Amino acid sequence: MTESTNHIWRPSGKRPNYIGHRAKIGVIVPSTNTAVEYDLQKFNLPGVTWHPSRFWVESPVLDSDEAFLYFLDLIRKEIPLSIRDVLTSNPTHIMMGMSAETFWGGVEGNQQFLNRVVEQIGDLGLTTGANACGEALKSFGAKSIAVLTPYQEVGDKQVHAYFSEIGYDVKQVIGLRCDSATSIADTPEDDVLAAVRQLDGPGVDAIVQVGTNLSTVDLFPVIEKWLRKPCLPINVVTAWHALRMSDIRDKRDGMGWLMEHF
């Protein structure tokens, strides 16, 4: 006896179940970076896909202010090529998987960066490290912050200036002075923990980590429970912002308070 096909259950809904049917997020990543993709894999949200597009880093040396500035000059030429390439995947949103350039020049410099990217991507949504951090801190109502970076002094000054200009009392910025773009990812956890101890204090509402090749996604969710204050890893912050801009409201346990509550 055969059963009538009229009674076979079939899914309903407006959207078919294809890869990236909720969001396809293009991610602009330096060729030297090994942390962004590691961190993004932890989200693993149904219907959401991440599409890294690497831009070539010709000179990864960062062992002085001069080397850091040269590095930025080089990547400014390469980022548009990476954006060009990822646009061929028809993404629904673009996320910057690098952050130094987005803080450079304070609010005005960040806006200039945004304008250049928007010229390429049109009306696609855009997430940068600088803007995402600002939105995340607003969610917590933070007023005073401390910041951890992997940068040289020249980079730390730019980060300090940006956060100050958008209205935060920056109590302290600690740069780990990593000597190359690749060595950032090799930073020992003990160095991160020691820096956080220095950054924390009764006048600090939140601690922010910038520099996308410095992964703190495994450490910061635990640290913020110890300190009882938000600890925001740049890769979690940018992913959160990209998701929320894509109307993806999923919460994730174990990724820190930002993804658990906002």
Which of 251, 205, 256 is closest to 234 using CA atoms? 256
Task: Tally the domains of the chain.
Answer: 1
SS3 11: coil
Low-confidence ranges of the chain (pLDDT < 70): 1-6, 10-15
Task: Let me know if 104 is exposed, middle or buried by CB neighbors in 10 A (0-12, 13-18, 19+).
Answer: buried
Q: 0.85 exceeded by the pTM?
A: yes
Determine, yes or no, domain membership for 42.
Answer: yes
Model confidence over 246-260: pLDDT tens digits?
Answer: 999 999 999 999 999
Does 10 reside within a domain? Answer: no
User: Which tens digit of pLDDT belongs to each residue from 62-107?
Assistant: 999 999 999 999 999 999 999 999 999 999 999 999 999 999 999 9
What is the model's pLDDT at position 1? Answer: 46
Q: 86: domain CATH number? A: 3.40.50.12500
Q: How far is CA 16 from CA 11, 227, 242, 244, in A?
A: 9, 44, 22, 21
Contact present, 51 and 26 (Cβ < 8 Å): yes
Whole-number pLDDT of residue 11? 67
- Predicted pLDDT at 9: 72
The answer to whether residue 84 sits within a structural domain is: yes
| Inside any domain, residue 175 | yes
The answer to whether residue 46 sits within a structural domain is yes
Domain with 159 in it:
23-256
User: Alpha-carbon dihedral of residues 144, 148, 86, 20, nearest 10 degrees?
Assistant: -70
Cβ–Cβ under 8 Å, residues 93 and 245: yes
Token pair 């500035």: residue = 69
pLDDT, residue 15, reads 64
Q: Tell me which residue of 137, 136, 135, 170 sits closest to 156, measured CA to CA.
A: 170
Contact 147, 207 (CB under 8 A): yes
In a domain, 11, yes or no: no
Interior angle at CA 255, CA 40 and CA 226, nearest 5 = 140
9 in a structural domain? no
- The three-point CA angle 106-130-184 to 5° equals 105
Residue 162 maps to a domain = yes
